[in-house]
Amino acid sequence: MPARSPKPPTPASADGGSRLRRLRAREAVRELVAETERPLSHLVQPLFVGPEAPTGRSGPLPAMARRGVDGTAEEAARLAAAGVRAVLLFGIPPRKDPDGRGAWDPRGPVPRAIRAVRARAPELAIFADVCLCEYTIHGHCGVLARSGRVDNDRTLPLLGRAAVAYAEAGADLVAPSAMMDHQVAALRTALDGAGHAEVGILAYAAKFASAFYGPFRDAAGSAPAFGDRRAYQMDPRNAREALRELREDEREGADVLMVKPALPYLDVLAAARRELALPLAAFQVSGEYAMIKAAARAGWLDERSAVEETLTAMRRAGADLVISYFASERANALAGGDR
């Protein structure tokens, strides 16, 4: 009688019965075992306060529209009603000068908007960007030396003055984005000296010299009039240096640390999460927003799914909060019952 051939093992017996798809079969089970949450309470919506911009490349990007003070307050109230918990304000002044004096003018766009938003939506957390690029005629993030280069040390007290103006208007956190060395220490000293020790600092700690800022510069009118920002923003090739920047801002007194942009630098974000205890922010910048919008308009991807996937990636990499132009749309989708 011929010997029987051994029965080939089934996939189940070969790996001890594992079937990873069992926990993916139904939505209710998928939700129970999801490792990464993406709650609306962790999203921050950027808003632009200033004169209405002429129609340009940012026209098809609704989240990047400029609004006056009253319009900003109205939009903030709408966001709060939809479930968004925080906004980040950027100011565009009616006039610019070499030193960016409008940045610390108490009657400037950001202080006025902070007061108006606080009155209309008192439950919102208000973050205020601190930089000079929108306020200077040359578009750089600090004042210039005679050589034409940005003067780091002369810029620091001006950033401090802007932070104090925003704190006095009622900001919860100020967000220095100029990438000047020791800007966090300068802001902490200025705030504490003015009696605003309770105001936090969200540090743009690892802000890279990125190709993904174009739509923002168009919306804010902040493109450099000459040269670029590679002398003070980070080299995209340097991850170890980014961790040095993050640790330095932590030592100087930052309350939250940011990696910007988000998707191209998820490795930096994940490394920061492993090493640092402070809350981490990721900024899904204007170019990331614009790419998804353009691809969706062309029919190349589903916008809502792409937004969900990218926001999940940032949270999975370690972001405690995500600044995203999609925050408002995410709120609207959740209000409609979408996941």
User: Domain for residue 103, yes or no?
Assistant: yes
- Residue 293 is among the residues annotated as catalytic for this protein: no
168 assigned to some structural domain: yes
CATH number, domain with residue 194: 3.20.20.70
Per-chain mean pLDDT for the chain: 90
Residue 335 in tokens: 């209000």
Instruction: Find the catalytic residue in 7, 96, 260, 293.
Output: 260
Assess if residue 192 is contained within a domain. Answer: yes
Q: What confidence tier does 29 reach under pLDDT thresholds 50, 70, 90?
A: confident
Q: Which domain holds residue 270?
A: 37-335
d(CA 299, CA 273): 35
Does residue 22 sit within a domain? no
Read off the pLDDT of each residue in 155-162 and give the average, rounded to a whole number.
98
> Which residue from 256, 229, 34 is spatially nearest to 133, judged by alpha carbons?
229
* Tokens (6 digits) for 165: 């103006």
Residues 12 and 88: their CA atoms lie apart, in Å, by: 52
* pLDDT, tens digit, 9 for 90 and up, residues 117-150: 999 999 999 999 999 999 999 989 999 999 989 9
In a domain, 160, yes or no: yes
| Domain assignment of residue 20, yes or no | no
The reply to whether 263 falls in a domain is yes
Helix (H) / strand (E) containing 253? none
Rounded-to-integer distance, Cα 295 and Cα 74, Å: 30
Place of tokens 């961790």: 243
Residue 33 · residue 23 · CB < 8 Å: yes
Catalytic residue among 7, 96, 207, 293: 207
Q: What mean pLDDT do residues 237-247 have?
A: 98
**β-bridge pairing 66-67 and 43-49:** parallel
Query: How far apart are the C-alpha atoms of 93 and 338, rounded to whole Å?
Result: 38
The pLDDT value recorded for residue 220 is: 79
pTM of the model: 0.90
CA distances from 143 to 67, 90, 182, 194, 207 (A): 27, 19, 16, 23, 19
Tell me whether residue 51 is in a domain: yes
Look up 207 and say whether it is catalytic: yes
Looking at the structure of the chain, the number of domains it has is: 1
